[in-house]
Structure 1
Amino acid sequence: MQIGEISVRSGVSVRMLRFYEAEGLLRPHRTESGYRDYSQDDLEEARRIRQLADAGLTVEAMHDLLPCIISPEPTFHPCDRLRARLEAEVAKLDRKLSEMERSRAQIAAYLDGLPRDEWRDTAILRSETA
């Protein structure tokens, strides 16, 4: 598969596929003319990378986790540092969620302090019915 096809099939942009290759996360075969030639295994790896990126993991974390992943499902075989890495990532996500909850509460308090007017109430009703 060429890079455009794997991009469409994996949902990873061409730019990000090149980035992941530069970071050593993907290693597609190169043809004699230098074109990338992706295999089915590369496609599955790109999909796993996308899942990890969507979860907010860094490239460094992916380097630790990808060798341990044995399927597209959250199934792992034992790897050194795996539990510690996953616990650190969960803790990081918990901190982000906590920060977002505080930010939301603060913005909601500002919103509650604004005077109600006909335009705002109409806009809210429109967005709720959309």
Structure 2
Amino acid sequence: MRIGELSRATGTSTRSLRYYEEQGLLSSRRRSNGYREYGEEAVRQVAFIQDLYRAGLSSQIIRDILPCTAPTPPAGDCAQLLARVRQVRDELARQEQQIAQRREMLDRYLSGSATPAGLVGPPHRSP
């Protein structure tokens, strides 16, 4: 299928598909007229790539992961890649916890149940 067909099938812009190719995430063959030709598996691969981007993984990690998802993964050790993905996941969990703590503090300030550190009472208003 050509790039426009893959774009329609996946809901992904042709610009993004070209970027995926530049990053080594997606491959195509060039026809004699210069058009890109993608196999049927490209639809599934593009969906997977988009999922991994939405999960916060970089192009480099995605590029390394893709061979490990093949029906017959390479002889290399995919366990290290899983460890990298776990690190990204753990970092996201840490960021979520920080955001939740910040939101709780703002909620306390907004509700009046907390005041900024060092202030004893409500802010002084000048007449």
TM range (shorter): 0.7 to 0.9
- Report the equivalent of 1:60: 60
| Structure 1 residue aligned with 2:76 | 80
Q: What is the total number of aligned residue pairs between the two structures? A: 112
Rg larger for: 2
Structure 1 segments, 4+ long, off by >6 Å, are none
String of CA shifts for 1:17-58, please: whole Å, max 9, x gaps: 111111122121222221112220222322222232232221
Q: Distance in 2 between matches of 1:7 and 1:100?
A: 33
Q: 1:42 to 1:113 in 2, by over 3 A?
A: same
CA contact 2:2–2:37 (8 Å) conserved in 1 = yes
Q: Could you list the runs of 5+ residues in structure 2 that have no partner in the other structure?
A: 113-127
- CA–CA separation in structure 2 for the residues paired with 1:115 and 1:9: 49
TM alignment of 1:104-123, pairs within 5 A: 104-115=100-111
Deviations, residues 70-129 of structure 1 (Å, cap 9, x unaligned): 36xxxx74642311111121122212221222122212211221147xxxxxxxxxxxxx
Identity of aligned residues (%): 29
Counterparts of 1:54 and 1:48, CA distance in 2: 10
1:119 match: none
Cα root mean square deviation, aligned? 2.2
For structure 1, which runs of at least 5 residues remain unmatched after alignment? 117-130
Higher share in helix: 1
TM-score by length of 2: 0.73
